[in-house]
Structure 1
């Protein structure tokens, strides 16, 4: 088979193939269906780095026992406006899903709620979670800690993860605005992909093990990634760490083992979400302000709303299907049996 060969799958075909792979790897039915949905939707949104190409590796973590694919999350309410979802060593998404209605109930009662997901594997597309709250009409902010990859300014040893942060803003009659970004200049998956392909990095992305700037992806993986915006990005990563590991009592980025090592212990990471009902303060017409800002952005030639390319890709690929490397499709079929 030529490594350049590509195969196009319809969205339902891709979804079913991913579901079968997760199920065969050892996920219970509900988890397999949910994880397949998340990775397929990432592919449909044009986020290939977090899409179906990740499924074989993630299934490997389940098959090895590093991720508890059959775990049943435990949801509790430690306070009226606080929801705690213990993933029990599984994926964060099933724990999030199990706590979703309780979190909405807390927002309706209190106007604000905090959801903390603990003892979980790493996040994938964080915006998927906040978008669920925005679809329900609420403003949501979310963040997650991941294993250490970012060094402090002037340093050469990672102490914080690329700790992503996301915000979803509802719109009347339109998909929510979703902002989803890492605290680093670039997502670590980009470094990994370039290392595998033997491609150079862009300047300002990473340093080597001696703290010197590097364009060598493999040297960067042995060194550290740089925070977005210099000290500001490092500050954001630290704030995320406080809102996740410190709040949840989970492993810090520094304590969590690397995700790429299939035989490493479970990372036992955490996520946090703050969900608000702006109508309690700004009144029922608060989305008018959102549309005013959207109009100002759209009126400028060449400007684009954050997340707009993702929405465009979602609409297009839902009709045309997703085109994947043939080797990936074969691998997924092998896992799915």
Structure 2
């Protein structure tokens, strides 16, 4: 089977069916499926359904807890701490987002810290939900060691992503979602699956030398954005997501792919702001629209067609893929077909027919 495009709703159904048959309860299976397809719709394939096989493998290995929901450890003022109970990361992330939103509605600002979680997908999945409700959201997470501190060659920090969502009106929302490394490790892993070369500024090999080979990069270290600035930002995220919440930090965060003995113990932070504590929401949306138009009206450099704001490219990709379908590399199609077959599910039901 070599289909070129899949329908996003069909993929959500297929992924939810796989997860359900792997033991994930229905509502949780749907959350995880939506999160993965969300990433593929935005063109962020490194965090999309290419992750479904490894999620299922860790479930099958007993490394993810499916029966206990995330638990509130303490709520005090505008802050809360949540124990993820080693649940699926998306389930934990949604619980923490809900808590942060509730606190923000009550206090104007809400901060939910998380410990004992797992890989929680694309940060934009949570930021987009907050934006849809007229809220500002900052999402942080630490991750398994894949990036050395500036000057080092042995990974210590994860790609430690950050996302910020800010609502607008007629203009697209501000939706920044980025790793603190030049490229997410998932992009390099996907390049290795495809047999594609990577840019030389993405990573170094085990000897500390720049490399185009994604396999050597995965054995070496990713490089931080902006050199020492990205390193400092990654360290900050590790501190607030790990040390502050009681989750693991640095190399203590276990690999999604290589550690088959221990839970990941990832930490997250969700900081939510209720815009209406500062301005009426409609007024803020209008101000954002005017501001974004100012940014986009800045004269462009030669050869540049237009200025885009963070998240705008991904929004356009999402619009196109909802209409035309989601393409996958053949290696990912084969992995998904194999996984679906193992659980008696036909991946072909998600293939675009038009």
Compute the TM-score of the two structures, normalised by the length of structure 1.
Answer: 0.92
Following superposition, the deviation at residue 103 of structure 1 comes to 2.6
How far apart are the structure 2 equivalents of 1:50 and 1:305? 21
> Retained in 2: the 8 A contact 1:139–1:168?
yes
Once the two structures are superposed, the pairs formed by residues 99-248 of structure 1 within 5 Å of their partners are: 99-173=96-170, 176-248=173-245
SS in 2 for 1:155: coil
Larger displacement relative to structure 2 (116-125 or 97-106): 97-106
Residue 314 of structure 1: aligned partner: 318
> Retained in 2: the 8 A contact 1:139–1:170?
yes
1:331 to 338, 341, 345: 338
SS in 2 for 1:286: helix
Larger displacement relative to structure 2 (178-187 or 108-117): 108-117
Following superposition, the deviation at residue 200 of structure 1 comes to 2.7
SS in 2 for 1:119: strand
Residue 267 of structure 2: aligned partner: 270
> Retained in 1: the 8 A contact 2:134–2:275?
no
Larger displacement relative to structure 2 (163-172 or 10-19): 10-19
Residue 96 of structure 1: aligned partner: 93
SS in 2 for 1:83: strand
> Retained in 1: the 8 A contact 2:145–2:158?
yes
Cα RMSD over matched residues? 2.0
> Retained in 2: the 8 A contact 1:25–1:335?
no
Larger displacement relative to structure 2 (228-237 or 63-72): 63-72
How far apart are the structure 1 equivalents of 2:95 and 2:139? 17
Unaligned runs of 5+ in 1: none
Following superposition, the deviation at residue 260 of structure 1 comes to 1.0
Q: C-alpha deviations, 1:177-226, integer Å up to 9, x for none?
A: 21000000111112222333443321222122222222232222222111
> Retained in 1: the 8 A contact 2:96–2:113?
no
SS in 1 for 2:258: coil
Following superposition, the deviation at residue 141 of structure 1 comes to 0.7
1:297 to 295, 298, 301: 295
Residue 254 of structure 1: aligned partner: 251
Change (3 A) 1:158 1:262: closer
Change (3 A) 1:9 1:192: closer
Q: C-alpha deviations, 1:39-90, integer Å up to 9, x for none?
A: 1122222222221222112111111111223331112442121122221101
